[in-house]
Amino acid sequence: MHHKILTPQSLFLIQILATAMMTGIIWFVQVAHYPLFEKIPKEGFVAYEICNTTRTGWVVAPIMLVELGSAFLLMVLGSRLGYNPLHLIALGCLLLIWLSTFFIQVPLHGILRHRADISTMEQLVSGNWIRTVLWSLRLLILSVMIAMGKIF
């Protein structure tokens, strides 16, 4: 008997696991990691930030890509199977997260890779609330879909 590995159910499971992981990570970043940037001595900050962004990228980039890939694959499958409209809302949250990442957080980190700037650090914390709220909302939406028993 032939079994498909990437069924809608397995894709949904992959998606919600990646979303849950990123939701946990983003809350840690929002509450502990970013606010503590101000405590790092200025003379070592740039070296710290370069290492921080590189190492953080190795952790979050694969999870974010898996989340995005599984969400889009589910949309493709959903277009054939009929999908829960909550998929569109959850996908919209994800697209806004990616936009926030590349148009707010990445440029701010770019500044911090060259100098320790308190104003930029504060902007990083305040701007990151966008991703924190959206990932939390996304996880809630996906959880509601499970509770409803309707991923499609």
**Cα separation of 67 and 16, whole Å?**
8
Average pLDDT, the chain: 93
Low-confidence winner among 7-11, 14-18, 27-31, 102-106 (lowest mean pLDDT): 7-11
Rounded to an integer, the average pLDDT of 60-87 is 87
pLDDT classification of 82: cutoffs 50, 70, 90: low
Evaluate if residue 4 carries a pLDDT over 90. Answer: no
Cα torsion 56, 58, 59, 60: sign: positive
Retrieve residue 17's tokens.
């696991």
How many other β-carbons are positioned within 10 Å of the β-carbon of residue 78? 19
Q: Do the Cβ atoms of 151 and 12 come closer than 8 Å?
A: yes
What is the C-alpha to C-alpha distance for residues 107 and 27, in angstroms, rounded to an integer?
20
In one-letter notation, the amino acid at residue 88 is: L
Residues above pLDDT 90, as percent of the chain? 78
Q: Which amino acid is at 84?
A: N
For residues 77 and 11, the answer to whether their CB atoms sit within 8 Å is yes
Structure tokens at 34: 């970013």
- Please give the residue that has the higher pLDDT: either 34 or 79: 34
pLDDT value of position 76: 83
How many residues does this entry show for the chain? 152
